[in-house]
Chains A and B, each alone.
Chain A
């Protein structure tokens, strides 16, 4: 295994971790929504702010945290 290979492996692992953290925290939720919306063609998509506000309201309207 060369140094370059090791570097690229570390790079891939770091990118996967950041991607996972973005998904788990909801950081990329709006981008995912836009892709979904582009396929469904239902008029103009929500703005980033409107999407975020709606998501927060919905998330905290039920049991979403535990003991």
Chain B
């Protein structure tokens, strides 16, 4: 029976992939992509994940998990696998898989889609499941602690520094995405601003009025933010109010930075926690709605399979398909960040080791599917429209006529009239040069939702999608700033002990300000960059995220070899090798390339030459010194990431070589075996088992 299902899945996947292959020179239907994805996930889960769990990880359901051994009813709680799956998915799913595929769509739909599928099934899902099991075996220790225990102090330090830097870059680039979505859009700005008091209202409800009634508070909050979308539309019709919410990107960046700082120093219950509840509900609801709408509508993909931009002169970001598609799509294929959730938080919920396949591998499959849906939403747009929305004014020209001329010249016809009609339908004044991915994703989602559920509401759907992305992003911004603060306090505590006390208010203020200043700086430079800023920041974030994945896979490989499983080490070693290759190749090009569209130092040199020759317009000349400094700084950061990556890999190699040559290595940190005595949980858990007695 299992064999028959497997054969059917393989046949289905082959037919769907064949469908994609044979339609290369004509538009294909999104349903082919969805079918191919579902079949590949099912095969990966049914065969590869099962084999890795049984043979490589030796998952043992008879072994008691930390949740069972330390069950305290608070953080260590044995949880039904589907509930733990929900917790884990809600924690790993962020705006990353929405933005990355949108940017990578400049290469065509095929490269990104293949990397999302192959990268997830062989890399990302394996990483998440492996780290989840290894941490479960080690009392739920964090990735940094495992790196320290199993490799040495350097590995632990590298994981800490890597995480802190990623956090800062991630928040900066996400802040930039929100700023670009709000730029001169009173409707979006009013709606996004309104989500702040709504979140606070939910916070007060949960803390003061009805403590802990999260479901009712979230339903109330979601209803209010939906109302805020409609209210934003009303604001848009009032000339006076329009003026109040019509801002250019620099003041908006100031608002976002100020918001981030205030959110970091306010108590979590007031803003951070309630915003996260809203974001979780919107996330689960929108992902489900989008999946249903894509299947019902099954739109045609209008983007070609491959565009001429694979040669490196793409308008969204410079760089050839190799290695840049692999670092542009990090979340959705392999995301190092997930290793931080898979170690520490989720292991404390695992009721049985047998559940790690569903929770670790399965959640990442769903995240990868979100990335596939983002790819579909980006590529169902007319390519001309897609490039007009996503190309910075510095690349295609500031005036609409110049932009459509450049883009049509690439072979993607688009007219000013077409863009105006589209902007009008979406309730915006213009959609030109709305870089960052959020507006084009929102246009894609609005056309999916609008064509499925009623076309009259296009502008409402567009602003719903913008609000959804913004709530998501601002919730990552709050949480990321807070985590960054804790890490910084941990580091600063070594210099001056009181700074390490997480509840000492001067230290809270000081370290929060430092973290906000860190990402605020990159956000500011991104805003003044005439090319949109995302083209520099996103690749940097991608390199950092893949570096963290490589650290996680190094820890996993080291542990496999140390525990006598060297013959299976390829399971983590191959994705590690691939990530090391693409990250190093991308970092090399970002630093050394002579093309100013790719190389950071070349860009700084070229800008300096133009500045000295006096050929820059006044506004660009004013921003140039900061851009030059920033490009050099980014080149240094890229170099540091690569150095840290290779030092961790060498450290792992050293530990493995010692083990293989029979030399002593540090003792394994696995908790001793204890037999599981937990009864299988029902979905309602203890509530139904014992609630009635």
Supposing A32-B686, A32-B687, A53-B207 touch, asked if A67 and B268 sit within 8 A by C-beta, the answer is no
In the assembled complex, how far is the CB of residue A34 from the closest CB belonging to chain B, in whole angstroms? Answer: 8
Give the nearest-CB partner of B330 in chain A.
Answer: A67
Q: A31-B687, A32-B73, A33-B74 are in contact. Are A60 and B273 (CB under 8 A)?
A: yes
A18-42 near B? 1/0 per residue, CB < 8 Å: 1111111111111111011101100
Q: How large is the interface on A (under 10, 10 to 19, 20 to 34, 35 or more residues)?
A: 35 or more
Distance of A59 from chain B, by nearest CB (Å): 7
- B218 close to A25 (CB less than 8 A): yes
Residue B506 at the chain A interface, CB threshold 8 Å: no
Find residues 1-56 in chain A having any chain B CB closer than 8 Å to their own CB: 16, 18-33, 35-37, 39-40, 48-49, 51-56
Of A24, A48, A49, A61, the residue contacting B486 (CB under 8 A) is A61
Chain B residues positioned under 8 Å from A16 (CB to CB): 683
Interface stretch of the complex, out of B48-56, B244-252, B477-485:
B477-485
Q: Which residue from chain B places its CB closest to the CB of A39 in the assembled complex?
A: B690
Write the B262-296 contact mask toward A (1 if CB under 8 angstroms, else 0). 00000011001100110011001000000000000
A65 touches B276 (CB 8 A): yes
* Number of B residues with CB within 8 Å of any CB on chain A: 65
B26 in the interface (beta carbon within 8 A): no
1/0 per residue, CB under 8 A from A, across B128-163: the answer is: 000000000000001000000000000000000001
| Contact residues in B for A51 (Cβ distance below 8 Å) | 212
* CB within 8 Å for A67 and B94 given contacts A60-B268, A61-B502: yes
Residues A66 and B86 in contact in the complex (CB < 8 Å), given A19-B684, A23-B685, A27-B213: no
Closest to A57 in B: B268
Q: How far is the CB of B228 from chain A (nearest CB, A)?
A: 21
Q: Is B675 an interface residue (CB 8 A)?
A: no
Label chain A's interface by main secondary structure.
helix
Known: A22-B215, A60-B273. A65 touches B685 (CB 8 A): no
In the bound complex, what is the Cα–Cα distance between A66 and B344 (angstroms)?
13
Tell me the complex Cα distance, A59–B82, Å: 20
CB neighbours of A26 from chain B (8 A): 212, 214
Q: Are B480 and A65 in contact, with the CB atoms below 8 A?
A: yes
Q: How far, in angstroms, from A3 to B345 measured CA to CA in the complex?
A: 44
Contact B215 A27 (CB under 8 A): yes
Does B482 contact A60, Cβ atoms closer than 8 Å?
A: yes
Q: Does B92 contact A (CB under 8 A)?
A: yes
Within the complex, which residue of B75, B211, B486, B502 is in contact with A52, where a contact is CB–CB below 8 Å? B211
**Contact indicator B479/A65 (Cβ below 8 Å):** yes
Given A25-B280, A25-B281, A30-B212, A65:B475 Cβ within 8 A? yes
Q: Verify A65–B91 contact, CB threshold 8 A.
A: yes
Q: B95, A67: Cβ atoms under 8 Å? A: yes
Known interface pairs A20-B82, A27-B213, A27-B215; A67-B690 also in contact (CB < 8 Å):
no
Q: How far is the CA of A32 from the CA of B345 in the complex (A)?
A: 18
Task: Check B479–A35 contact: CB distance below 8 A.
Answer: no
> Does chain A have a CB within 8 A of B170?
yes
Interface centre among A24, A26, A40, A53 (most CB of B within 10 A): A24
Query: Is B73 a contact partner of A63 (Cβ separation < 8 A)?
Result: no
Q: B341 at interface (Cβ–Cβ under 8 A)? A: yes
List chain B residues, Cβ under 8 A from A19: 683-684, 687
Stretch at the interface among B253-261, B332-340, B393-401: B332-340
CB distance B215 to A32 under 8 Å? no
- The yes or no answer to B232 lying at the interface (CB within 8 A) is no
Tell me, yes or no, whether B545 is within 8 Å of chain A by CB. yes
Q: Point out the residues of chain A lying under 8 angstroms from B601, CB to CB.
A: none
Q: In the complex, are the beta carbons of A67 and B170 less than 8 A apart?
A: yes
Query: Contact between A53 and B269 (Cβ–Cβ < 8 Å)?
Result: yes
Measured CB to CB, the closest approach of chain A to B636, in angstroms, equals 23
- A64-B341 in contact given A32-B73, A51-B212 (Cβ < 8 Å): yes
Q: Contact at A66–B214, with CB atoms within 8 Å?
A: no
With an 8 A cutoff between CB atoms, is B672 at the interface?
A: no
The CA of A25 and the CA of B215, in the complex, are separated in Å by 7
B206 within 8 A of A: yes
Q: Within the assembled complex, what's the spacing in Å between the Cα atoms of A19 and B79?
A: 13
Asked whether any CB of chain A lies closer than 8 Å to the CB of B476, the reply is yes
Q: A23-B86, A35-B690, A49-B211 are in contact. Are A67 and B73 (CB under 8 A)?
A: no
B218 and A35 form a contact (CB under 8 A): no
Name the CB-closest residue of A to B100: A67
CB-CB nearest in chain B for A24: B86
Which B residue sits closest to A26, measured CB to CB?
Answer: B214
Q: How far is the CA of A39 from the CA of B686 in the complex (A)?
A: 11
**One of A22, A36, A49, A53 near B686 (C-beta < 8 A):** A36
User: CB-CB contacts of B324-364 with A at 8 A, as 1s and 0s?
Assistant: 00000011000101101100110000000000000000000
The answer, yes or no, to whether B314 is at the interface (CB within 8 Å) is no
B71 at the interface (CB under 8 A from A): yes
Contact A48 B338 (CB under 8 A): no
Q: Out of A24, A30, A33, A35, name the residue touching B90 (CB < 8 Å).
A: A24
Contact B344 A62 (CB under 8 A): yes
Q: Mark B525-554, 1 if CB is under 8 A from A, else 0.
A: 000000000000000000001000000000
List B contacts of A52 (CB < 8 A): 206-207, 211-212
Known: A52-B212, A64-B341. 13 other contacts (CB 8 A): A23-B79, A24-B90, A32-B687, A33-B74, A48-B212, A56-B273, A57-B268, A62-B344, A63-B163, A63-B345, A66-B91, A66-B340, A67-B174
Top 4 closest pairs, chain A to chain B, by CB: A36-B73, A24-B86, A52-B212, A67-B96
- 21 inter-chain pairs at a CB distance below 8 angstroms, sorted by A residue, are A16-B683, A20-B86, A21-B215, A23-B86, A24-B90, A25-B215, A27-B214, A31-B687, A35-B691, A48-B212, A49-B212, A51-B212, A52-B206, A52-B211, A53-B269, A62-B345, A62-B483, A63-B344, A65-B276, A65-B480, A67-B94
Which A residues form the contact surface with B (CB < 8 A)?
16, 18-33, 35-37, 39-40, 48-49, 51-67
Residues on B facing A (Cβ under 8 Å):
71-75, 77, 79-80, 82-83, 86-87, 90-96, 142, 163, 170, 174, 206-207, 211-215, 218, 268-269, 272-273, 276-277, 280-281, 284, 330-331, 335, 337-338, 340-341, 344-345, 475-476, 479-480, 482-483, 486, 502, 545, 683-687, 690-691
